[in-house]
Structure 1
Amino acid sequence: MRVSDHDQTEALQLDALKAAGCDAIYGDHGVSGAVTARKGLDEVLEELSQGDTLVVWKLDRLGRSTVHLLQLLAELRERGVDFQALTQGIDTTTAVGRMLYGQLAVFAEFEREQISDRTKAGMAAARKRGKHLGRPRMITAEQARRYARRLETTRVTLDDLAAEAGVSPQTLSRAIHNEKCKNDYR
């Protein structure tokens, strides 16, 4: 089982896996399905042997990349391990189940790309509105201008000013540089 957000719960998946009679349950909490190397996934893959069946609640809990999902399926088949996705009726012991697995893997990757595209579009729109993205700035534009003037007009060093501001010299230098670049374009 897997949830990508620390605020999500695995309860629904756990109940379904227990009801399906799973002997051992592995999980990844707070990890994206786009990440292929995950502690829980790596552990279950290491433990599986011929005759076992890997059961997931839903295909996208296993992964979001078509290539990765198809590689996993091929690896499982080579090792004599079957695969089931409970909510989607996928069962790789049948030809129809293998076909459905391949189709759903394509849709899982498509959804991941759609999420990425929507996120990028939202960030671009926010940038156009002048919204700062990322961590909060440690040094405001006004502070950066003040520190730049002090560097130019006094004998104070960047290290001294950074210590005074409670930031690293690199952070202060970047803030001053960014503010100077903005002023150069005005």
Structure 2
Amino acid sequence: MIFGYARVSTKEQNLDLQIDALAKAGCEDVFSEKLSGRSEKKPKLEELISKLRKGDMVVVYSLDRLGRTSKELINLLSDFKEKGIQFKSLQEGIFDTTSAMGEAVFQIIAILKAMEVQVLSERTKDGLAAARARGKKGGRPKGSYDKNKAAAAVTLYQRDLPISEITKSLNISRSTLYQYLRNEGIK
């Protein structure tokens, strides 16, 4: 059986491109999730892996959808090979783990992908440090703390009202509610 796996990092991102490409590649069953690649647990990937049998194939849109680090990818593909499971990446089209050349290419690409992630991370950190050196602060602007709403939030929360009702009645976001509760000493 040919299985597909699609993943995007945030809920705002769309899976359609990956799912369409996997369907076109002949995937009979596609597992998808919206979850950061840095997450240690990937429930849909774990579910997919639990269904794999000897002779099956796993197809992904791109290697980085499967894992963030070369070690993670190499371990996963080694497990696939031991279990007789084939692997294919659509973006890195030369990928076919059933041959020695395909395995070598996999290891090279995995290293390059990991390096790319590291370089992007370093650039981001350098950019943030440069901005801080110029006196810029990142993140959301601090909102004003409304002591009356905070007190009301605590009262409603202690009455075991659902979070959605509290946020609606006070016209605040969920994160603001939790901030109020933390600042008022409620865990």
- Given the two structures, how large is their TM-score scaled by the length of structure 2? 0.69
> In the alignment, residue 76 of structure 1 is paired with which amino acid?
F
Is structure 2 residue 118 aligned with structure 1 residue 125? no
Aligned to 2:156: none
Question: In 1, Cα distance between the equivalents of 2:49 and 2:184?
Answer: 46
Question: In 1, Cα distance between the equivalents of 2:18 and 2:92?
Answer: 13
Secondary structure (helix, strand or coil) at the match of 1:84 reads strand
Aligned to 1:136: 141
> Structure 1 vs Structure 2: percent identity of aligned residues?
40
Aligned to 2:183: 168
Aligned to 1:5: 10
In structure 1, the gaps of 5 or more residues are: 141-165, 171-186
Q: Which has the larger radius of gyration?
A: 1
Given candidates 67, 72, 81, the residue that maps to 1:68 is 72
Conserved in 2, the CA contact under 8 Å of 1:3 and 1:28?
A: yes
Is structure 2 residue 109 aligned with structure 1 residue 104? yes
State the 1:92 CA deviation. Answer: 0.6
Question: In 1, Cα distance between the equivalents of 2:134 and 2:85?
Answer: 52
Q: Structure 2 matches for 1:21-170, cutoff 5 A?
A: 21-29=26-34, 31-89=35-93, 90-137=95-142, 168=183
User: For 1:137-177, what per-residue CA distance to the aligned partner results, in whole angstroms no more than 9, with x for missing partners?
Assistant: 3579xxxxxxxxxxxxxxxxxxxxxxxxx67268xxxxxxx
In structure 2, the gaps of 5 or more residues are: 1-5, 146-179
Conserved in 2, the CA contact under 8 Å of 1:36 and 1:63?
A: no
Structure 1 vs Structure 2 CA RMSD: 2.1
